[in-house]
Structure 1
Amino acid sequence: MTQANIDYGSRQAVGLVAGREISTRMRSKAFRVFTGLMMALMIIGVLIVKLISGMSSGPDATIGVTAQTAGLAAPVTATAKGIGENIATRQVASEADGNKQITDGKLDALLVGTGSDVQVVVKKELDRKLQTVFDSFAGQQALNNQIHKLGGDPGQVATQVGQAKATVKPLEPPYPYDVAQLVLGAAAGVLIYLVMMMNAQAIAQGVVEEKQSRVVELLLATVKPWQMLFGKILGIGALGLAQMVLIGAAAVIPAALTGLLPSVGAAAGTVVWLVVWFVLGFLAYALVFAGLGALVSRQEDIGQVISLPLMLLIAGYVVGISVLPSNPGSRFVEILSIIPTFSPTLMPMRIGMGGVPVWEIVLALVLLVAFIPGLLWLSARIYRNAIVRTGTKVRFRDALRAA
């Protein structure tokens, strides 16, 4: 038999095993329900974020002013803006009309008096944030009065004070992180983690199920162990990739249509990198889970053998989702995202958030790709030597030593 015939036969065997895995998984109700549920949650999440962002775009409070205090509207708004508050002002017909609007809930507060001092009317009590605004404004008014008494110009003083700023000289130029980019990166991390974890564990569970039911003995009569291993990983991996694309599309398309994405180009780039890291990350973890799954013959023993790689997968996700949204430039996460065990979950999150140097992405990819051949040799050896040994758990050392 020629080499070409052997290669064709191997490809055909791997393809048959992969097709069997795909058809089996697609018939699974749990798989379909999980995919549909995640797509629905993504769409609902985008709509909720859009709703919240739309609600938060308005003013934090509305302040009424009378004809006598109308001159205070612009300076009190500027004072609020200076301390991070967004207030709107509206002139009322009279103080009595303003009091009625406060009672009806149309105004949060009313500025009254002659305009030379700060007097505020509220329904019951003044909100803490508004209290800070009015206290700051009252302090500014008192300072202006003192400047007047000394013969100065309060407007000129305020201009000079507003223009006075400290000169900052960063050693490295900061990256302007955008809130939408942070959300995009976090969503990418959640998506790749969930799909990787679910499908990588499915590899181990499938191996044990076939071993426990002795189906594997029938399959090995027609295909080789490595063909079974590759076929299983290829089939479940292809279905996992399709699943991730569907769930991702359920988030990206509504986000693009509602204007939540920073740009279509940024979203497209994140999706491409998400696919790259899923393929490499899934391959690495699937090899480990398949090899370790072959060591046991009962479903209840799976947790014992895959606990370590599962913890590494979870750890990368937890670190990323807890640290990166509040500190995108974390040095600790930068280092972890280059290590092959953590890069499949952390690097897509960092890429989605932006500001990742190209050399870090390239280094992480090179290390992960270089890591896979070793996992391939190790997993194939364990799988080949342990897959037909039923009954008690096969020790790791015995699986490596067996001929």
Structure 2
Amino acid sequence: MSALSARQAVLLVTRREIETRILSKMFLIFTGLMLVTVIGGSVIFTLIGGSSAVTVGVTDPALARPLAAAADALGEDVETRTVPAATGEKQVLDGELDVFVTGTATAPKAVVKRQLDPALQAALASIARQTALDAEIARTGGDPAAANRAAAAAKVDVQRLDPQAEGFGERIGLGMFAGILVYLILLVYGQTVVQGVVEEKSSRVVELLLTSIRPTQLLFGKVLGIGVVGTVQMLLVVVAGVVSAQVTGLFSIPASVITWAGFWALVWFLLGYVMYALMFAALGSLVSRQEDANGVVTPVMMLIIVPYVIGVSVLPADPDSGLVELLSLIPFFSPTLMPMRAAFDVPAWQVALTLTLTVLLIALMIQLAGRIYRNSVLRTGTRIRLADAFRDA
């Protein structure tokens, strides 16, 4: 029988990993739970979000009833209260009011913290137009042209006390979902790589495998095979999330933003997985027992956990955080932070720079991980020092 080529050897190991894991109970249960969580979450949040009332403060009590009626006609649940002009803006900033309406019926001014609900803005515009139309008809004695001109000129003036991107809250939620998803699957499949390497080494199966293929071929086939399984799972969850968000109308932001965020979550998972999996596999080859594995891979896990914690702690309050922006450009931190930022407008040069640096780092990791794995995977017993794994090449 002729020896396997490098390509055949890698594909053989890849297929073995896929067949072993794609139908495993862990994969099926984990995938099912994530799909139920994503789809069920979209439905639940839509129902919860659709039932909440918007609290509107008005300085003119005469605006309260027509505003509530106009909003109700547009499917918006509005609770109105009369608020002194001096405290209205403070109540908006403190979260006591969603909207503070000042001005006159023909020229209302809506003060909001970030953005005005479209239905409420339409309701205010409707009141302004109708009031202006009635006043002009009464003044001109029923001139339709003048009435139409006055109605067309009526508009709502919106003042944002804390300007942010359109759909600020929804973008934050989308970014957090993408970041959490990438974080979870990176951790799960990074640990899967470690467990696979240590299990083969401790059971001496690796010695049998390496009679037919080279260590680096086994390494790359394992990383590729487990990566395919992880990518299938990631793709299923991303597609389910995007589709369910569209079907339930969970987000009011453009569908392109949701799809774009899902695309970048998948891209950064792929890049992050390859980078981290190579490190996990290399470090896992230094030990021969599962109980020793956590100790050697903790530094890599921290590269995933630390930026994730920073992202979910800082971004919701400050999407323009300079710290998060800087860390997201560092390839070790990019896979968890960039998906969170993707829901907002990330400068193209930052994306290009980070992608380039990450690809270059992966190329370096291929060399380093291959060397460590090759020198360590057949050595059993006590934990191998990282310096020895390099020196014995």
TM-score (norm 2): 0.74
| Equivalent in 2, 25, 29 of residue 21 of structure 2 | 25
1:293 aligns with 2:284: yes
Gaps of 5+ in 2: 68-76, 89-101, 112-156
- Please give the root-mean-square deviation of Cα atoms over the aligned residues, in Å: 3.4
Q: Which has the larger radius of gyration?
A: 1
Spell out, residue by residue over 1:295-333, the C-alpha distance to the aligned partner (whole angstroms, 9 max, x if none).
000000111000011011011111112211221111110
Preserved contact between residue 187 and residue 304 of structure 2 (Cα < 8 Å): yes
* Equivalent residue for 2:229, pick from 239, 256, 268: 239
Does the Cα contact within 8 Å between 2:57 and 2:83 map onto a contact in 1? no
Match of 1:343 in 2: 334
Q: 3-state DSSP class of the match of 2:212?
A: coil
2:360 counterpart residue number: 370
Q: CA separation in 2, counterparts of 1:237 and 1:259?
A: 32
Q: Deviations over 1:33-53 (max 9, x none)?
A: 111111111111111210111
* Number of equivalent positions: 323
Instruction: Rate the CA distance shift 1:62–1:156 in 2: closer, same or farther, 3 A.
Output: closer
Q: How has the CA–CA distance of structure 1 residues 161 and 280 changed in structure 2, closer, same or farther, with 3 Å as cutoff?
A: closer
The partner residue of 2:30 within 9, 34, 47 is 34
CA distance in 1, matches of 2:256, 2:346: 16
1:366-386 deviation line (CA, Å, top 9, x unaligned)? 111111122111111110000
Match of 2:11 in 1: 15
1:91-110 Cα offsets, whole Å, 9 max, x none, are xxxxxxxxxxxxxxxxxxxx
Pick from 311, 314, 317 the counterpart of residue 308 of structure 2.
Answer: 317
Q: Could you tell me how far 1:179 is from its partner in structure 2?
A: 2.4
DSSP 3-state at the match of 1:136: coil
Whole-Å separation in 1 of the counterparts to 2:296 and 2:87? 67
| Distance change in 2, residues 1:290/1:282 (3 Å) | same
Whether 1:203 and 2:193 are equivalent positions in the alignment is yes
1:28 Cα shift?
2.3
Quote how far apart the aligned CAs of 1:212 are. 0.3
For residue 355 of structure 1, report the CA deviation from its aligned partner.
1.4
Select the residue among 322, 328, 335 that pairs with 2:319: 328
Deviation at 1:293, TM superposition (A): 0.1
| % identical equivalent positions | 45
User: 1:20/1:342 Cα in 2 relative to 1: closer, same or farther (>3 Å)?
Assistant: same
Question: What is residue 84 of structure 2 aligned with on the other side?
Answer: 136
TM norm structure 1: 0.72
1:188 Cα offset (Å): 0.8
Report the CA distance between 1:231 and its aligned residue: 0.1
Equivalence for 1:275: 266
Aligned-residue offset at 1:392: 0.8
Q: Distance in 1 between matches of 2:174 and 2:316?
A: 10
Could you tell me how far apart the structure 1 residues matched to 2:13 and 2:34 are?
A: 27
For 2:57 and 2:104, locate their aligned partners in 1 and report how far apart those are by CA, in whole Å.
Answer: 28
Deviation at 1:88, TM superposition (A): 4.6
- Note the C-alpha offset of 1:87: 4.5
Q: Which runs of 5+ in 1 are unaligned?
A: 64-70, 79-85, 90-132, 141-154
Q: 1:59 to 1:380 in 2, by over 3 A?
A: closer
Label 1:156 to 1:42 Cα distance change in 2 as closer, same or farther (>3 A).
closer
Does 2:37 match 1:47? Answer: no
- Are the counterparts in 2 of residues 295 and 395 from structure 1 also a CA contact under 8 Å? yes
Counterpart of 1:222 in structure 2 is 212
